[in-house]
Structure 1
Amino acid sequence: MIRGIYVAGSGMMTEATRTDVIANNLANASTAGYRKDVAIGKDFRSMLIRRINDGPNSPLIGSMGVGSVIDEVATIHEQGGIRPTGNKFDLAIEGRGFFAVETPAGVRYTRNGGFTRSAQGELVTVDGYRVLGQGGAIQLGDPESQVYIADDGRVMVDDAEADTLRIADFADVKRLVKEGANLFAAAPGQQEEPVAGITVRAGYLEHSNVNVVAEMVNLIAGYRAYEINGKAVQAHDSLLDKAVNDVGRV
């Protein structure tokens, strides 16, 4: 009975974590370039059970789990939809790759192309991080300069090529680490790779890849699973109460 309480309790903890992940996805459903997360659960350990009183060669009945746990929270890097904004500094990548930006913690990567011109004439993110090109921070000149960003990532200022966007790709994007503010950090030893076959769309932003309806369904299913595990804990607690107070009295 006590084992049953622990098994059901671990299920409640698993579903609580899964609910937190889904809630974060829903909170960022309108965040440009956001990549959704999925909580992946696993069994603690399954053990084989046999029919008793059948001698040394008692047949196997099957396996029984002893609890669950979240194995990992994986990020899904599927392309989100692209929508026009009319702002020439908004950029969207069609295909693989990430924009490289300079932060106080070092170079970070994002799919959120909601950029603007800073007071210093640089292309920056909404948090003020400088967007990087092949030659460093991208300079846009003074406010009167005519800026055009081509489909291949070239930044044209007054009809002269100023720089080219630093679009980074990685052999295994699953190793990238989320750091908040829609930024990813490369794992230790992970190197940038050149990208090919992509298009940079100026005046567009990429949607998040969160399907709100699917996430709401997952949220309801997780709540139901949590509720069932909670009732299992109550049932085992009731049985334990009877075993101690009633059976023990006899």
Structure 2
Amino acid sequence: MENAQLVSLSRQIGLQRQMDVLANNMANVNTTGFKAEALLFEAFEMPVARDRSFAYSDQNLAFTQDWATLTDLTPGALMETGNPLDVAVMGEGFLSVDTPQGARWMRGGALQIDAQGTLTDIAGRPVVTDIGPVTFGPEETDISISADGLITTQNGIKARLQVTEFVNPQALVREGDNLWSGGEPQPATETRIRQGALERSNVSGIAEMAEMIRVQRSYQSLASLMQRQDEMRRTAIQRLGDISA
């Protein structure tokens, strides 16, 4: 395959992966606390590309390479719900939940109390506090969660939500189900909790749709270019065959 087609193919592969990222963003436009992703590209240069023709000397070829996936950590808009078990995380922090694989972090603050009275997320994972999972009795009402995560009822103080910040949030690994792992956790100092509200996804549906259209057109343009290159090569082979005959 010719160098031009290899370069075009590398760009098409990158565009396909970018479309996967955009599609995932669009699928989570209504997911509470979801953070959009973007794919970063860089040029991968081959040391030397040999050209057999006399018209050109040796030259470098630059291929498209997806370098990293960047997470947009800007806060989403707040949505007032009035539900005392809904909490919005304001700042760079994350709530902690307990999973079979260990502690994980999340931005989605739609909490609930399960049949055993344990405070969990909507998937049933226990929410971590300074005393571990916290349990409420059937008689406990008037649940209040302060800005620093302190949980109280009419019986007094229950626990404090474990809110975690990270030295480098971009080092967090997205695990699916709106959970994160990894990073260097440390106690939150700048994050606040807002009871009775949820953080919306920071995905802009209009912007993502426009970017998907741009990526699709770029892919189609490259496909058309590769088809024309194939036609040129086929024509060249036919003419060389006619000359030999």
| TM surpasses 0.5 | yes
> In the alignment, what sits opposite 1:136?
132
> In the alignment, what sits opposite 1:165?
161
> In the alignment, what sits opposite 1:5?
5
Rounded to whole Å, the distance in 1 between the matches of 2:150 and 2:191 is: 13
Unaligned runs of 5+ in 2: none
| Aligned with residue 207 of structure 1, among 200, 204, 208 | 200
SS at match of 1:87: coil
Q: Kindly state the Cα deviation for residue 248 of structure 1 after the two structures are TM-superposed.
A: 3.4
Q: Kindly state the Cα deviation for residue 144 of structure 1 after the two structures are TM-superposed.
A: 4.6
Rounded to whole Å, the distance in 2 between the matches of 1:201 and 1:169 is: 17
Rounded to whole Å, the distance in 2 between the matches of 1:114 and 1:127 is: 10
Q: Kindly state the Cα deviation for residue 74 of structure 1 after the two structures are TM-superposed.
A: 1.5
1:102 aligns with 2:98: yes
> In the alignment, what sits opposite 2:213?
220
Rounded to whole Å, the distance in 2 between the matches of 1:16 and 1:207 is: 27
SS at match of 1:67: strand
- In the alignment, residue 17 of structure 2 is paired with which amino acid? T
Rounded to whole Å, the distance in 2 between the matches of 1:181 and 1:53 is: 58
SS at match of 2:22: helix
> In the alignment, what sits opposite 2:241?
248
1:234 aligns with 2:227: yes
- Conserved 8 A contact 1:90-1:204: yes
Q: Kindly state the Cα deviation for residue 82 of structure 1 after the two structures are TM-superposed.
A: 0.7
> In the alignment, what sits opposite 2:27?
27
Q: Kindly state the Cα deviation for residue 249 of structure 1 after the two structures are TM-superposed.
A: 3.0
SS at match of 1:86: coil
1:149 aligns with 2:145: yes
Cα deviations by residue, 1:120-160 (Å, 9 ceiling, x for unpaired): 11110111100000110122222653311112110002241
SS at match of 1:247: helix
> Which stretch shifts more, 173-182 or 5-14?
5-14
> Which stretch shifts more, 106-115 or 5-14?
5-14
Q: Kindly state the Cα deviation for residue 53 of structure 1 after the two structures are TM-superposed.
A: 8.2
Instruction: Give percent identity, aligned residues only.
Output: 29
- Cα RMSD between the aligned structures? 2.2
Q: Kindly state the Cα deviation for residue 247 of structure 1 after the two structures are TM-superposed.
A: 2.2
Cα deviations by residue, 1:23-48 (Å, 9 ceiling, x for unpaired): 10010010000011101111121679
Q: Work out which structure has the larger RCO, using CA pairs closer than 8 Å and 6 or more positions apart in sequence.
A: 1
Rounded to whole Å, the distance in 2 between the matches of 1:108 and 1:15 is: 31
Rounded to whole Å, the distance in 2 between the matches of 1:25 and 1:65 is: 33
Rounded to whole Å, the distance in 1 between the matches of 2:108 and 2:139 is: 23
SS at match of 1:196: coil
SS at match of 1:193: strand
Q: Could you tell me the TM-score, scaled by structure 1's length?
A: 0.89
> In the alignment, what sits opposite 1:88?
84
- Conserved 8 A contact 2:85-2:110: yes
Unaligned runs of 5+ in 1: none
Q: Could you tell me the TM-score, scaled by structure 2's length?
A: 0.90
CA spacing shift, 1:220–1:47, aligned 2, 3 Å: farther
> In the alignment, what sits opposite 1:42?
42
> Which stretch shifts more, 33-42 or 137-146?
137-146
